[in-house]
Structure 1
Amino acid sequence: MSTARVVLVTGASSGIGRACTEAFLAEGARVIAAARRTERLADLHAQHGDAVLPLTVDVRDRAQVSAALGSLPADWTPIDVLVNNAGLAAGRGPIHTDDPENWDRMLDTNVRGLLNVSACVLPGMVERGSGHVVNIGSNAGREVYPGGAVYCATKAAVERITRGMRMDVLGSGVRISQVDPGMVETEFSLVRFDGDEAPAKAVYEGLTPLSAADVADVVTWVASRPPHVVVADVLLYPVDQAGSGRVARRSS
């Protein structure tokens, strides 16, 4: 039986999740890559072989999450590290004109999804007295900007949950961390702009944003600290950013 760490990454099919998957694999871990898009997970498996276990699951569906994680092959348990990465931003308008469907998508994915997965993984970690949960938040959880009230609220909830989770497992040996990136060029803006590439690209014009690999580098570093060390939270910005809406753009 393999002695390599088992890492579960949600939202593993793209962006930060995929980068985290590849970064942990590069360190010799085995990764349970969880996401909704089966074809992208199949691509990951094709690239990395049996070091990746594709897991098609929608984190918003508690029953589906419980069934999927409850039926993992024996050699893919226990889970040593959980990276709660699945998340999205939807809608850009003020609350009084925004589509409430956008609120539901963000609340169900960013908050309930994190809780659904954590509720399945944390009990085993506490019972064993070891394990590490890394929640992916956002600088948006620390401040608010126009048109982002609900998204910012979901990421603020992640921060509150992370702090409370750390208190709840105190004394168990389980570590709880959070990584909050600023501007990262992934499919994030493309999703928020409903697939419209021009405005999605304009978000990053004139500056150098973080890459998904930059964030994954921090996540793997956090997860590689000695067992007695907890990196509680990390705020990660590109040098061209100093807060939400506070960016330095270079003229072309």
Structure 2
Amino acid sequence: MQNIAVITGASSGIGAATARRLAREGFHVVAAARRADRLEELVKEIGPAATAVECDITDDASVANLATVVAGLDGVLTLLVNNAGGARGLDPVATGSVDDWQWMYDVNVLGTLRVTKALLPALEQSGRGTIVTVGSTAAFTVYEGGGGYTAAKHAQEALVGTLRLELSGKPVRVTEIDPGMVRTDEFSLNRFAGDQSRADSIYDGVKEPLVADDIADCVAFMATRPHHVNIDKLVIRPLAQAAQHKVHREK
């Protein structure tokens, strides 16, 4: 039977690139996200190897529906890519927006929890399950203005590490990929509430930041290793970024 892969946040950026790549790897991909119109375009592009499911990972009923759709497909769920997430704002803690912090925790942490809980029984039943969670270098490094996002990503990393311990002895790999600077169409734009110039300034002078396909390539690599190989954590940055606070910018 065909292997099924579920990708959250698949309507754009890393999620969409990962769906395309995993379809080429032979998976039937379930592209899940809130924007149904974007998903339909993606599935049309990929073809019969893809299924679109409108899903809000902050809503229990929506995630339950995702699990029901997956259970009804002809195949075996062997891969979950927890990709949905995001950042809002760059305010210091002293003036941080509680609403923005709440949203980042709900999406990055509780969203990952909801989807993982819903699909874990099927992944375990497959006998060869893999969970890849797309985190961030913000999961282990803090920076000014990033308190809300780094707190959420630190919590998400703690969730992943705890899950790996709890699933020891069971046939489910728990892996994590933590990208540095990745230039996508929407991440920074969403962070700055649609301010294109402010979003673009993040990458000013940075030669060849990572792009969505770079991360999709890594996800595919991690997911297609022999099942006894568990890549706990993969940190990937562009060459121009030596560390969170050390970025070479050309003038």
* Structure 2 counterpart of 1:199: 198
* Structure 1 counterpart of 2:168: 170
Distance in 2 between residues matched to 1:76 and 1:51, nearest whole Å = 11
Amino acid at match of 1:26: R
* Structure 2 counterpart of 1:190: 189
Q: How does 1:189-228 map to 2 (within 5 A)?
A: 189-207=188-206, 208-228=208-228
Distance 1:70 1:108, change over 3 A: same
Asked whether the equivalents of residues 6 and 32 of structure 2 are also in contact (C-alpha less than 8 Å), the reply is yes
Amino acid at match of 2:148: V
Q: CA RMSD in A?
A: 1.2
Deviation for aligned residue 1:69: 1.4
Deviation for aligned residue 1:124: 2.1
Amino acid at match of 1:29: F
* Structure 1 counterpart of 2:248: 248
* Structure 1 counterpart of 2:77: 79
Q: TM-score, normalised by structure 2?
A: 0.96
* Structure 2 counterpart of 1:68: 66
* Structure 1 counterpart of 2:138: 140
Deviation for aligned residue 1:73: 5.6
SS of the residue 1:225 aligns to = coil
Amino acid at match of 1:158: Q
* Structure 2 counterpart of 1:119: 117
Distance 1:214 1:71, change over 3 A: closer
Asked whether the equivalents of residues 130 and 172 of structure 1 are also in contact (C-alpha less than 8 Å), the reply is no
Distance in 1 between residues matched to 2:66 and 2:80, nearest whole Å = 15
Tell me, yes or no, if structure 1 residue 12 matches structure 2 residue 7.
no
Distance in 2 between residues matched to 1:75 and 1:68, nearest whole Å = 11
SS of the residue 1:150 aligns to = helix
Deviation for aligned residue 1:67: 2.5
Asked whether the equivalents of residues 11 and 33 of structure 2 are also in contact (C-alpha less than 8 Å), the reply is yes
Asked whether the equivalents of residues 126 and 169 of structure 1 are also in contact (C-alpha less than 8 Å), the reply is no
- Alignment deviations for residues 67-125 of structure 1 (CA, whole Å, 9 cap, x no partner): 33124362345311000000000011112212211011101100000000000111222
- Tell me which moved more, 22-31 or 73-82: 73-82
Asked whether the equivalents of residues 133 and 177 of structure 2 are also in contact (C-alpha less than 8 Å), the reply is yes
Distance in 2 between residues matched to 1:7 and 1:143, nearest whole Å = 30
Q: TM-score, normalised by structure 1?
A: 0.95
Distance in 1 between residues matched to 2:204 and 2:35, nearest whole Å = 29
Distance 1:24 1:95, change over 3 A: same
Deviation for aligned residue 1:178: 0.1
The percentage of aligned residue pairs carrying the same residue is 40
Distance in 1 between residues matched to 2:125 and 2:27, nearest whole Å = 22
Distance in 1 between residues matched to 2:232 and 2:60, nearest whole Å = 27
> 5+ residue gaps in structure 1?
none
Asked whether the equivalents of residues 13 and 40 of structure 1 are also in contact (C-alpha less than 8 Å), the reply is yes
Task: Give the length in aligned residue pairs.
Answer: 249
SS of the residue 1:50 aligns to = coil
- Tell me which moved more, 147-156 or 73-82: 73-82
SS of the residue 2:101 aligns to = helix
What stretches of structure 1 move > 6 A for 4+ residues in a row? none
Distance 1:46 1:71, change over 3 A: closer
> 5+ residue gaps in structure 2?
none
- The partner residue of 1:150 within 148, 153, 163 is 148
Distance in 1 between residues matched to 2:102 and 2:74, nearest whole Å = 32
* Structure 1 counterpart of 2:106: 108
SS of the residue 1:201 aligns to = helix
Distance 1:166 1:200, change over 3 A: same
* Structure 2 counterpart of 1:229: 229
* Structure 1 counterpart of 2:22: 24
